[in-house]
Structure 1
């Protein structure tokens, strides 16, 4: 019996009819909502060609949208790398058997998850300079805020993934002489990352969108350059916001597609590895059986 048949019961005739009706109703409601939004914008003159004409000009993309998009992607890329690293460190710290490590790590996770990201960016930019007696750039204020918040959320994802793995894997690794750091690095964390990949990708998508909060410290990201600055020069804030939203949707869709591709690839590699292990075990069993048969023949008494 397949896993799908256990976890999911196929709907019967009445359920299929009900699902089809609900799908049609939802589709009609969604189409009506979109038409209502379009009509209201049309009444306000937001679809006039003069408001959308700047997006057909090269200067709009080179002076406003592309610089903002580049700053958004750069902050998101650095924030993703640091958040993943910070999350793994905190997850390992929370799983430590030493209380002087696990308790502070847990406190950091709970604290950074509780503080709003906007306040964190604001404090890093305006408050930290009083502590270190040096200014903090808008870029690093955004990146540090994204790292602290998203890293603490990812730490819980990694910890849940590690907790979900069978305990026998760790016991087997310790039995062959591996240290705990090796067990974490070579066995547990890679498997936890694969198991929690959907959660990790979802949080990275949130991180990418949260770069828009950099406007609080005047970081020139896509919202600041592609919406605020562009609208100030062209007077088309709704059109600029729609274009920026479309760009965010495309980028996040590509990120999700990449994650799905990596997930499928890791699953295929896992299946191939299991097949190799099964084939090796069958060959070993066959060899042992042949050797036993030969030994029995050699050991037979001569008549």
Structure 2
């Protein structure tokens, strides 16, 4: 079976793809094995280097760092979603004095690296007389400005990808443009762009690691501190492994929650379609 964009591979192509898959798997396993071997040769798996992480106080500190990471992520995620929706609506406005500034704002903060935004907030603004910028505020504001601008393009693309009939039907029954946007277009755009939105939320979670530059007490900051303890053999690699495992676990947890929400939305949509069908059939029988 084939289509315009894809031809079903034949027996030779299937065999070749299987060989390439096996070779790729062997190469990846060999690389991982070599890295583990070098870690073992350099003493990274010695009990002395891992002893530090067996102390209850160190474990409690890591839990506090996880809480700080999740706090910054949750705050920045909410503000980024709100900012992205506002900027997307501004970009789609018919008034140029609204759409042009929103366009400039979006393009500016999409182009500025996130690390520079955090450094400007924490190190730059105090030199201009702006006081009270804590590491938490610097991290959250930097994440919000950058990811809000990225999400603005996601929402705008999702809204513009919808059929024009959706918007025209809303105008035909006398709805205002703001009502059409919030009640008709935005919910459909969110459902359509949900995988991209979730991917950007995962990016926000991982980018909280940049907070160690502004001394924010998150996971990477604590891992860097524990890895520099010379009395325990400077366990840099063990600290990095533990931090990486924590980040992977948090990202997988977020992806699992997103998958659950997506499946729930699809199930509700199927239920709604199933309830509309009998109503339509009943109306036809009555006619």
Please report the TM-score for the alignment, with normalisation by the length of structure 1. 0.89
Q: Deviations over 1:117-165 (max 9, x none)?
A: 1110011112223556322111000000000000000000001100111
Higher mean C-alpha deviation, range 151-160 or range 9-18: 9-18
194, 204, 207: which is aligned to 1:207?
Answer: 204
* 1:229 counterpart residue number: 225
What runs of 5+ residues in structure 2 fail to find an aligned partner?
none
* 2:11 counterpart residue number: 13
Give yes or no for the alignment of 1:184 onto 2:181: yes
Give yes or no for the alignment of 1:80 onto 2:52: no
Coordinate RMSD, CA, aligned: 1.9
CA distance in 1, matches of 2:260, 2:12: 36
* Residue 18 (structure 1) shift: 2.4
Q: Deviations over 1:6-34 (max 9, x none)?
A: 87655443333222212211110110000
Aligned length: 284
Higher mean C-alpha deviation, range 123-132 or range 93-102: 123-132
Give yes or no for the alignment of 1:281 onto 2:280: yes
Give secondary structure in 2 for the equivalent of 1:165.
Answer: coil
147, 152, 160: which is aligned to 2:144?
Answer: 147
Q: Deviations over 1:222-271 (max 9, x none)?
A: 1111x122123342111001000000001001111111111111112112
* Residue 198 (structure 1) shift: 1.1
* Residue 183 (structure 1) shift: 1.0
Query: What does 1:199-278 correspond to in 2, within 5 Å?
Result: 199-225=196-222, 227-233=223-229, 234=232, 235-278=234-277
CA distance in 2, matches of 1:190, 1:8: 32
* Residue 199 (structure 1) shift: 0.9
CA distance in 1, matches of 2:3, 2:191: 24
* 2:37 counterpart residue number: 39
CA distance in 1, matches of 2:89, 2:239: 43
CA distance in 2, matches of 1:202, 1:9: 30
What runs of 5+ residues in structure 1 fail to find an aligned partner?
289-303
Give yes or no for the alignment of 1:107 onto 2:104: yes
Q: Deviations over 1:86-112 (max 9, x none)?
A: 001001100111111111101001000
* 1:163 counterpart residue number: 160
* Residue 54 (structure 1) shift: 2.4
Higher mean C-alpha deviation, range 131-140 or range 88-97: 131-140
* Residue 177 (structure 1) shift: 1.5
Structure 1 residues 10, 57: closer, same or farther in 2, change over 3 A?
Answer: farther
CA distance in 1, matches of 2:193, 2:88: 13
